[in-house]
């Protein structure tokens, strides 16, 4: 069975059993592992593909909106230097409980996907520390 098909089955089964009780985001056991593995594969494939055509890449977690404004010429220098409070930028959440997982945990059930994801994350300037 391929990864996409397996992942879809896990998502649909989870919806059926948990949606009314908890919003549908109770991922456990092999279902959780399958979703994590599939999302690592999709993240690496998408980013490798988009790297070929991207003009720039930004780490959203550390992005200064004034720098983005200037670099991408989204306004005049004066407009871009206006005070901007990153804390007041609208953010979107898909729910869930903010699941935490380490590289070691990922490596235990999806070694190949984890190595590819970690390699790309390091390339993009993220840390490989288990504490981050």
Condensed to tens digits (0 to 9), the pLDDT of residues 20-44 reads 555 555 667 778 898 899 999 999 9
As a whole number of angstroms, the distance between CA 118 and CA 103 comes to 8
Q: Which of 61-65, 66-70, 111-115, 128-132 has the highest mean pLDDT?
A: 111-115
As a whole number of angstroms, the distance between CA 39 and CA 112 comes to 13
Mean predicted lDDT score pLDDT of the chain: 81
Residue 103: Cβ within 10 Å count: 16
User: Do 103 and 130 form a contact (C-beta atoms < 8 A)?
Assistant: yes
In eight-state DSSP terms, residue 67 is H
Instruction: Give the three-class secondary structure for 86.
Output: helix
Rounded to 5 degrees, what angle do the CA atoms 118, 124, 127 make? 55
Alpha helices in the chain (DSSP H): 3-22, 29-51, 65-71, 77-80, 103-109, 111-123
Report the predicted TM-score, pTM, of the whole model to 2 decimal places: 0.69
**Predicted confidence (pLDDT) per residue in 52-90, tens digit:** 999 888 888 888 888 889 999 999 999 998 887 766 666
């Amino acid at each position: 069975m391929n990864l996409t098909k397996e992942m879809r089955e896990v998502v649909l089964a989870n919806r059926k059993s948990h949606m009314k009780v908890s919003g549908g985001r109770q991922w456990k056991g092999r279902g959780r592992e399958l979703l994590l593995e599939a999302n690592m594969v999709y993240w690496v494939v998408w980013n490798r593909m988009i790297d070929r055509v991207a003009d720039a890449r930004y780490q959203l977690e550390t992005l200064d909106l004034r720098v983005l404004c200037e670099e991408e010429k989204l306004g005049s220098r004066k407009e871009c230097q206006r005070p901007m409070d990153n804390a007041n930028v609208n953010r979107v959440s898909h729910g869930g409980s903010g699941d935490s997982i380490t590289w070691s945990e990922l490596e235990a059930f999806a070694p190949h996907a984890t190595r590819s994801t970690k390699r790309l994350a390091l390339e993009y300037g993220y840390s490989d520390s288990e504490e981050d």
